[in-house]
Chains A and B, each alone.
Chain A
Amino acid sequence: MNKLLFGIGFIVMLLLQWSLPGKMIFDQQLAVNQGIPYKFKTEPIDPSDPFRGKYVWLNYEIGSFISNDTIWPHGADLYVYLETGEDGFAKVSQISKKELNIELDYVKTKVDYAFKKEVHFSLPFDRFYMEESKAFEAEIAMASANQVQRQQNQEPTSICYALVYINGGTTRLEDVFINDVSIIEVVLQNREKEKTTIN
């Protein structure tokens, strides 16, 4: 009997160890298959995680919304409902403390703080993992693309955005683009340019 229980315990442990990464993959795949893609304007900064490697941290333009409700405690659940704006990028349609029975897609996050009717929050898909040598170069590529415009007192024309699939609250950050070119591709192009300049 003890041996049987022991065996069952062992099999349950194996299944549990498979189930979490398995569910993570399943949810992500479902978000791509059934979800709607949104573009979020962003700016990348490169930090590092001791276990999961280098990533670009994405600082989104969307980060607050005006609400008539004045009670938004720090750390409370927040549902951010989205729609696509005229410029083709995602914008906030409304925010709520509870899940609403409406057609719009939403992202679940937490309240950072609220000040004068403005509720501040962070979008959860803020990590884009990259090969360790490319993360820093990606940040440099974006910064230098905008710097040229700023030096000439012009508004930056380089647009950096993240492509995110959203399906019933599940999000999948697919890629990050600089002027419609994948950030990985931009890094590779820059490396090629450097090589030809040296030669």
Chain B
Amino acid sequence: MNTKIEKELRELIEAQVISPEVSQNIAQYYANKSTETPNRLFTIFGVLGSLLVGLGILLILAHNWDNFSKMTKTVWAFIPLVVGQIAVGYSLFVKKSSLWKEASATFLFFAIGSSISLVSQIYNIPDSMASFLLSWIVLAAPLLYLLKSHTVAILHLIFVTAYACNIGYANSGQPWWYLAMLAYILPFYYQRFKANPSANMTTIYHWLLPLSTIICLGTFIESNDTFGMVMYVSLFGLFYNIGKLPFFNEKRLRINGYLILGSLGTTVTLLISSFRWFWEESDSMSMAISEILIVITLGILALVALIKNVKSNLKQEFNLFQIAFLAFAFIYAISSFDIITPWIATNVLVFALGIFAMRIGSQKNRFSILNYGLLIIAVLIACRFFDTDISFVMRGILFISMGAGFFLANYIMYRKQQ
């Protein structure tokens, strides 16, 4: 136990603030707590160690030791794999601590990669980066459920995202296997969510899963960027509505990755769409079947989450962020007839979102949300300077008004809190 606490306890007994029994109980509590903490620390260091050793082996093998014969190199390709498999077997059947499970699973994850990469290297096998990553992910996937390893789950998410980016952004294909690999991790996520909803690890998944999806959705955009925006706004609409479900809504904002990413994503995509050139360059009739299917699926899922939200809390006030994706879909539909109306409508929508955010901030007495709303309006006005012809004096007056608005709104809120 910490000597500082012991000293404090002695002082408290001498000053007769607490009895010796209470002091003993407190000492016992800290003694128990300190035996738990090193365990968690050991797990973190164990995982970090395995991660670094695994990556180190990969790099050493990448050197390509051409002084060795093919046979020697082939044997070397399998040694890390065998060591990893033995360690995993040992953690599964003999030593069942989470430290062993996490560390051995992490090591085996990289050993699989090093064995495939070394065989490819020895025999000059012409695999693309994407198929190499996919083989690696698939072979390591069982570790997720056999060892219930969080590190493997995080590595799985990082690697499937890298795989999708490689296919979609570097090679202009569509990474359909990404969806299968993402679906593969969902039961694990759900189990963690049910078993330990407030754990830090579960919070990491609440952020990583939506982040991975946001990064990879762009790889499915085939025809035009305007329809890509519809895809993204639908995804953000889904995330926002998930974030508003009773479980997330009652929790602290920092664990609600869905709500924050959904709100920020909706605002940013709509701000991009608020430029006139965006609608002038759009070809609303050109869209691929796969894109339409993605929008329909995301739209239906977002609607289901919205209905669930409405049903669970009938008294809750109308929130524009929750239906912004439907409004944008309607605006996009109009764009096939006219470009001015959708341009103006998008600006009105962003402005209304800013007002709504300010209103929510004022109702909840939260400075952060109030200023978020003000920021949306400020950025919208700043953006309009690029595609509208307004005199410098007028622009100056507008900026001063915006600044004054920030001061005034925050001051009113401050007075309200007093």
Q: Which of B56-64, B224-232, B325-333 contacts A (4 or more CB under 8 A)?
A: B56-64
| Inter-chain contact A13/B126, CB cutoff 8 Å | no
Which residues of B sit under 8 angstroms from A36, Cβ to Cβ?
A: none
Contact of A129 (CB < 8 Å), options: B113, B121, B135, B139: B121
Residues of chain B within 8 A (CB-CB) of A125 are 124, 126
How far apart are B13's CB and chain A's nearest CB, in angstroms? 52
Q: A6-B146, A20-B139, A53-B121 are in contact. Are A132 and B64 (CB under 8 A)?
A: yes
A51-B132, A52-B121, A132-B63 given as contacts; is B126 within 8 A of A21 (CB)? no
Contact B117 A51 (CB under 8 A): yes
Which of B64, B77, B78, B125 is A131 in contact with, Cβ under 8 Å? B64
| Interface mask (A172-185 → B, CB under 8 Å = 1, otherwise 0) | 11000000000010
* CB of A134, distance to nearest CB on chain B (Å): 7
Chain A residues with Cβ under 8 A from B81's Cβ? 17-18, 21
In Å, the complex CA distance between A126 and B135 comes to 20
Whether A28 lies near B139 (C-beta < 8 A) is no
Q: How far does the Cβ of B346 sit from chain A's closest Cβ, in whole Å?
A: 35
Is there a chain B Cβ closer than 8 Å to A102's Cβ?
no
Q: What is the CA–CA distance of A126 and B118 in the complex, to the nearest angstrom?
A: 17
Chain B minimum-CB-distance residue to A187: B66
Hey, which chain B residues are within 8 Å of A12, CB to CB? 142
Contacts of B122 in A (CB 8 A): 129
Which residues of chain A come closer than 8 Å to B135, judged between CB atoms?
Answer: 20
Q: Which of B61, B64, B126, B142 contacts A173 (CB 8 A)?
A: B126
Interface hits, B216-258 → A, CB 8 Å: none
In this assembly, does B203 line the interface, its C-beta being within 8 Å of a C-beta of chain A?
A: no
Tell me, rounded to whole Å, the shortest Cβ–Cβ distance linking B14 to chain A: 57
Residue contact B142 to A54, C-beta cutoff 8 Å: no
B341 sits at the interface (CB 8 A): no
- Known contacts A13-B142, A20-B139; is A25 also within 8 Å of B63 by CB? no
Is there a chain A Cβ closer than 8 Å to B45's Cβ?
A: no
- Measured in the bound complex, the distance between the Cα atoms of B142 and A25 in whole Å is 23
Q: Does B129 contact A (CB under 8 A)?
A: yes
Q: Which of B66, B81, B124, B135 has the most CB of A within 10 A?
A: B124
- The verdict on A51 contacting B65 (CB below 8 Å), with A20-B139, A125-B126, A173-B126 known, is no
Complex CA gap A18/B80 in Å reads 12
A28 touching B125 by the CB < 8 A rule? yes
Candidates B126, B143, B173; contact of A126 at CB < 8 Å: B126
Number of interface residues of B (CB under 8 A): 38
Interface centre among B77, B116, B120 (most CB of A within 10 A): B120
A16 at the interface (CB under 8 A from B): yes
Report if A129-B64 is in contact (Cβ < 8 Å); known contacts: A20-B135, A21-B78.
yes
Interface residues on A, range: 35 or more
B371 within 8 A of A: no
For window 106-157 of B, CB contacts with A under 8 Å fall at 112-113, 115-126, 129, 132, 135, 139, 142-143, 146
Shortest C-beta distance, A25 to chain B (Å), equals: 6
Q: Give Cα distance in the complex from A51 to B121, angstroms.
A: 10
Q: Does A130 contact B (CB under 8 A)?
A: yes
Query: What chain A residues lie within 8 Å of B74 (beta carbons)?
Result: 25
Give chain B nearest CB distance to A79 CB in angstroms: 16
A127 contacts chain B at the CB level, 8 A cutoff: yes
CB-nearest residue of chain A to B92? A10
Which A119-140 residues have C-beta < 8 A from chain B?
A: 124-132, 134
Contact between B65 and A24 (Cβ–Cβ < 8 Å)? Answer: no
A14 within 8 A of B: yes
Cβ of B89 under 8 Å from chain A = yes
Tell me, in angstroms, the Cα distance from A187 to B129 when the chains sit together: 27
With A10-B92, A54-B64, A130-B64 already in contact, the answer to whether A172 and B124 are too (CB < 8 A) is: yes
Do residues A128 and B124 form an inter-chain contact, with CB atoms below 8 A? yes
Q: Are A53 and B92 in contact (CB under 8 A)?
A: no
Given A25-B74, A132-B62, output 12 extra A-B contacts at Cβ < 8 Å: A10-B89, A10-B92, A17-B112, A20-B116, A21-B115, A21-B119, A24-B119, A24-B120, A52-B121, A55-B121, A131-B65, A132-B63
Interface residues of A (CB under 8 A from B): 6-7, 9-10, 12-14, 16-18, 20-21, 24-25, 28, 49, 51-55, 75, 124-132, 134, 171-173, 184
Which B positions have Cβ atoms within 8 angstroms of A? 58, 61-66, 74, 77-78, 81, 85, 88-89, 92-93, 112-113, 115-126, 129, 132, 135, 139, 142-143, 146, 173
